[in-house]
């Protein structure tokens, strides 16, 4: 059978697949509306990592390179890079959610992110520092809980990432206030790290031990007193008692 016969016998592209490809192609432009559409309308499935291929290039260039672009913007701030990064985190979070409770899939996602984690971590901090909005904080918290914690045993910069989660938990990026939704995500993050063991568990243990010895961080912790009744804090208390 010649190649033309092979081509004509191929299954036709469905309308749903055509729409998905269009969302992917538009998202690859990096324009905010197109990335928002990809986050909201793509038919996410754990076997489909194409959205990851679209967004990762935007997270592989350090945010520091964008600081020079601030010149000429109102108040000296170009908000587009931070907004784009937050949408990329939303999309990766949606990929993680599509994997459900399948631990191998989530661990595989974390392993995929591992090589670029230092740059991703810079973007997480950059987006929080630039925005500080409740929506941005919630996006980062959900991203960490779903896309990092399940595979934290294979990721780099574990102590630095755990410290970022703690700062979110304490409300450092929101004048000492945290929403119930953000708190829930951080509880999920810490619990997964403890359950994972290894360097992730050790990083959480070291963090809670240091907060018990440092008054400034201990006082920050009281800003989220609702957490004291949650299983993660009860479990963490054994490290700081």
Answer whether 98's CB lies under 8 Å from 46's CB.
yes
Low-confidence residues of the chain: pLDDT under 50: 7, 215, 217-232, 234-241
Q: Whole-angstrom Cα distance, residue 173 to residue 78? A: 19
Q: Sort residue 72 into left (φ over 0), alpha (ψ -120 to 50) or beta.
A: left
The pLDDT of residue 4 is 52
Rounded to two decimals, the pTM is 0.81
In-domain check, residue 15: yes
- Is 163 a domain residue? yes
Number of domains in the chain: 1
Closest CA to 145 of 165, 124, 174, 117: 165
Looking at residue 179, its pLDDT comes to 80
Residue 2 within a domain = no
DSSP state of 78: -
174 belongs to a structural domain:
yes
What 3-state class would DSSP assign to 108?
helix
Residue 180 in domain: yes
User: What is the per-residue pLDDT for 218?
Assistant: 42
pLDDT per residue over 119-160, tens digit each?
A: 999 999 999 988 778 899 999 999 999 888 777 777 777 899
Burial class (CB in 10 A: 0-12, 13-18, 19+), 184: middle
Identify the domain containing residue 110 by its residue range.
7-240
CA 219 → CA 45, 106, 179, 212, 234, distances in Å? Answer: 42, 34, 18, 10, 18
At residue 58, the pLDDT reads 95
What is each CA distance from 121 to 47, 61, 124, 188, 206, in whole angstroms?
25, 12, 5, 19, 20
Residue 154 domain-assigned (yes or no): yes
- CA dist., res. 187 & res. 219, Å (int): 18
Structure tokens at 67: 């600081």
Would residue 1 count as lying in a domain?
A: no
Q: What's the pLDDT at 231? A: 47
């Amino acid at each position: 059978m010649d190649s033309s016969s092979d081509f004509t016998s191929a299954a036709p592209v469905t309308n749903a697949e055509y729409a998905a490809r269009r969302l992917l192609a538009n998202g690859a432009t990096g324009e905010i509306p197109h990335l928002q559409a990809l986050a909201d309308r793509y038919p996410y499935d754990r076997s489909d990592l194409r959205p990851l291929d679209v967004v990762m290039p935007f997270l592989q260039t350090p945010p520091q390179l964008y600081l020079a672009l601030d010149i000429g913007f109102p108040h000296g701030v170009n908000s587009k890079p931070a907004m784009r990064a937050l949408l990329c985190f939303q999309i990766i979070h949606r990929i993680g959610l599509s994997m459900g409770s399948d631990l191998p899939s989530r661990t595989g996602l974390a392993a995929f992110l591992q090589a670029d984690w230092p740059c991703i971590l810079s973007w997480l901090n950059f987006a929080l520092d630039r925005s500080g909005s409740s929506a941005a904080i919630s996006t980062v918290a959900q991203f960490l809980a779903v896309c990092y914690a399940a595979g934290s045993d294979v990721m780099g910069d574990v102590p630095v990432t755990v410290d970022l989660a703690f700062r979110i938990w304490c409300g450092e990026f929101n004048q000492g206030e945290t929403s119930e939704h953000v708190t829930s995500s951080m509880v999920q993050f810490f619990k997964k790290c403890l359950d994972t063991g290894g360097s992730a568990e050790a990083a959480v243990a070291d963090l809670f031990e240091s907060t018990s010895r440092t008054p400034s961080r201990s006082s920050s912790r009281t800003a989220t007193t609702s957490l004291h009744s949650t299983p993660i804090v009860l479990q963490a208390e054994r490290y700081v008692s």
